[in-house]
C-alpha cells in the first residue's frame, strides 16, 4: 500500500500510484444540459446521443442520473491550459453531434424553467440504483456541477488537503454561483442548485478526518452494511478519490463559458498546492462546522455579495476581501503550476458571476427560453 496507508485498509481505499506527470495534475468534469433547440426545454435523449458521439463509449462522455444531463470528463493534465484545450474540443464535439438532432447543449447550475414532472431518470444500472435508493427525490429537477480533480502525493496529503479545503468551500461556491432560476422563477438565491442538491443524502461539507485510516473506515462501514455500493455515492463538496490519487472539489456550479471554468479550475489547483505545501500534515478541524455550514448557505444565497463569518475576528467580512487575500496566497503556486493566466480571470468572474449575468440577461431578453438560447450559444465561447 503506497502513501504510508495501512495494509488493513479495504481494497477500494488503495491509493493510486503517483501520476507520471507528477503531483498537482488536474482533471475536469462538468455536467451539462441537453436542450431541444425549438423550445429550449430539457431534452431527455441521452440514450440516443451517447452512441452518436465519436468518444461516447469512452470516459470522455458519460450519462448522468437524469436523461437530460451528460458529463464531460477530461483526461489527466499537468497544466490547466492543456485541460482546457481538451475540454474545448469535447464541447465542440458534443455540439457538432447534437445539432443534426435539433438539439444543443448548455452549462449552468440549473435549467431555468424545468419542472420535476417532466424529468426522466436515465436507464443505466447506477442511475436506477439511485432512483431505487432516493425514490422520487431522484426525479427532482437536475442540477449541474463543475468538479475539479487535483493530484496529491499520497493518501495522507489528500486528507490534509481535504480538511483544509473545507474552509475554502463557501468562497468557491460564492465565486461559482450560476443558478438563480428554478421552475421558471427567480429564487433570490445565487445558487439554487446548492439547496436542490442538498435533498440528497451524503452531501455537504464533510467533517475533518484525523488521518486516511479514519476516513477509510468511516466510508467502508457504509459499504460493508450495503448502504452504498461504493465510495463515489458519497457526494460531498470535497472528497478524496483513491482510484485516481486525487482530491476532488465538487461544490461549484457548472460554468457557462470555458474561461470561467478555467479560472475556477486554476484556483482549485493552486489552493491544493498551497495547502499541501504549507506545512505539517496534521489533523485540523479548522473553522467550526456550524460556521462552515452557515457560510455555505450565505454563499449560495448571495454569491460574491456575501459577507462570510470569520470566527477568529468575531464578525462577518465581505467575500470579495477574502478572495483578494486568497489570490495573493495562491499567486506563487499558480506560477509554479503554470496557471497564472487562468487565475487572473478569477477577479473578473468575481465582479460578474454567472448568476448575476443570467439575471441581467433575463431582464433584457424578457424570456427564460431566450436566456437558455444565449447559454447554449456561449457553450463554445472562449470568454
Q: Which three cell numbers stand for residue 85?
A: 484545450
User: How confident is the model at residue 5, as a pLDDT?
Assistant: 47
User: How confident is the model at residue 136, as a pLDDT?
Assistant: 52
Residue whose grid cell is 461549484: 252
Q: What pLDDT, in 10s, does the model give residues 144-190?
A: 999 999 999 999 999 999 999 999 999 999 999 999 999 999 999 99
User: How confident is the model at residue 118, as a pLDDT?
Assistant: 60
Q: Which three cell numbers stand for residue 68?
A: 437530460
Domains of the chain: 2-380 (3.30.590.20)
| 120/64 Cα distance (integer angstroms) | 11
User: How confident is the model at residue 7, as a pLDDT?
Assistant: 58
Ordered per-residue pLDDT tens for the chain, 383 residues? 344 444 589 999 999 988 888 899 999 999 999 999 999 999 998 888 998 998 655 679 988 767 888 999 999 999 999 999 999 999 999 999 999 999 999 999 999 998 855 656 545 555 555 545 554 555 566 899 999 999 999 999 999 999 999 999 999 999 999 999 999 999 999 999 999 988 778 899 999 999 999 999 999 999 999 988 888 889 999 999 999 999 999 999 999 999 999 999 999 999 999 999 986 555 555 789 999 999 999 999 999 999 999 998 899 999 999 999 999 999 999 999 999 999 999 999 999 999 999 999 999 999 999 999 999 999 998 76
Torsions phi, psi of 304, nearest 5? -75, 0
| 44/119 Cα distance (integer angstroms) | 8
Burial 261-280 (b: 16+ CB within 10 A, else e): bbbbbbbbbbbbbbbbeeee
Q: Please, are residues 119 and 142 in contact by the beta-carbon 8 Å criterion?
A: yes
| 218/159 Cα distance (integer angstroms) | 13
| 167/172 Cα distance (integer angstroms) | 10
User: How confident is the model at residue 1, as a pLDDT?
Assistant: 39
| 77/28 Cα distance (integer angstroms) | 9
| Alpha carbon of residue 340 to chain centroid | 21
Taking 3-state DSSP, the helix, strand and coil percentages for the chain, each rounded to the nearest 5, stand at 50, 15, 35
| Alpha carbon of residue 323 to chain centroid | 18
3-state secondary structure of 38: coil
User: How confident is the model at residue 232, as a pLDDT?
Assistant: 85
**Report field, pTM of the whole predicted structure over 0.85:** yes
Q: Which three cell numbers stand for residue 199?
A: 435533498
User: How confident is the model at residue 348, as a pLDDT?
Assistant: 97
On the CB side of 196, how many CA atoms lie within 13 Å of its CA?
Answer: 26
User: How confident is the model at residue 56, as a pLDDT?
Assistant: 57
Reference 177, options 195, 199, 203; nearest CA is 195
Amino acid at each position: 500500500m503506497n502513501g504510508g496507508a495501512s495494509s488493513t485498509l479495504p481494497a477500494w481505499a488503495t491509493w493510486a500510484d503517483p501520476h507520471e506527470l507528477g503531483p498537482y495534475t488536474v482533471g475536469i468534469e462538468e455536467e451539462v444540459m441537453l436542450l431541444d433547440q425549438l423550445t429550449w426545454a430539457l431534452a431527455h435523449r441521452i440514450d440516443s446521443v451517447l452512441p452518436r458521439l465519436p468518444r461516447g463509449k469512452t470516459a470522455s462522455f458519460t450519462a448522468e442520473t437524469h436523461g437530460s444531463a451528460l458529463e464531460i470528463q477530461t483526461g489527466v493534465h499537468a497544466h490547466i491550459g492543456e485541460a482546457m484545450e481538451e475540454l474545448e474540443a469535447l464541447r465542440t464535439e458534443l455540439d457538432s453531434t447534437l445539432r443534426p438532432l435539433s438539439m444543443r447543449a448548455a452549462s449552468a447550475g440549473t435549467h431555468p424553467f424545468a419542472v420535476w414532472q417532466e424529468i426522466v431518470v436515465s436507464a443505466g444500472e447506477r442511475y436506477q440504483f439511485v432512483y431505487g435508493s432516493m425514490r422520487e427525490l431522484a426525479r427532482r429537477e437536475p442540477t449541474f456541477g463543475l468538479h475539479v480533480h487535483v493530484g496529491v502525493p499520497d493518501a495522507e496529503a489528500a486528507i490534509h488537503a481535504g480538511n483544509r479545503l473545507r474552509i475554502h468551500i463557501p468562497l468557491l461556491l460564492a465565486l461559482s454561483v450560476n443558478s438563480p432560476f428554478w421552475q421558471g422563477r427567480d429564487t433570490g438565491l445565487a445558487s439554487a442548485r446548492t439547496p436542490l442538491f442538498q435533498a440528497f443524502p451524503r452531501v455537504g461539507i464533510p467533517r475533518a478526518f484525523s488521518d486516511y485510516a479514519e476516513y477509510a473506515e468511516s466510508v467502508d462501514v457504509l459499504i460493508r452494511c450495503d448502504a452504498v455500493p461504493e465510495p463515489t455515492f458519497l457526494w460531498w463538496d470535497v472528497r478524496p478519490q483513491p482510484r485516481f490519487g486525487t482530491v476532488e472539489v465538487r461544490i461549484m456550479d457548472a460554468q457557462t463559458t470555458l474561461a470561467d471554468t478555467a479560472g475556477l479550475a486554476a484556483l482549485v489547483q493552486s489552493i491544493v498546492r498551497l495547502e499541501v505545501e504549507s506545512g505539517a500534515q496534521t489533523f485540523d478541524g479548522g473553522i467550526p462546522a456550524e460556521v462552515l455550514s452557515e457560510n455555505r448557505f450565505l454563499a449560495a444565497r448571495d454569491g460574491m455579495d456575501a459577507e462570510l463569518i470569520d470566527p477568529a475576528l468575531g464578525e462577518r467580512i465581505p467575500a470579495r476581501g477574502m478572495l483578494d487575500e486568497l489570490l495573493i496566497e495562491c499567486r506563487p503556486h499558480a506560477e509554479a503550476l503554470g496557471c497564472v493566466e487562468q487565475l487572473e480571470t478569477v477577479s473578473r468572474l468575481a465582479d460578474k458571476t454567472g448568476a448575476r449575468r443570467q439575471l441581467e440577461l433575463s431582464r433584457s431578453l424578457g424570456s427564460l427560453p431566450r436566456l437558455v438560447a444565449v447559454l447554449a450559444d456561449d457553450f463554445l465561447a472562449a470568454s
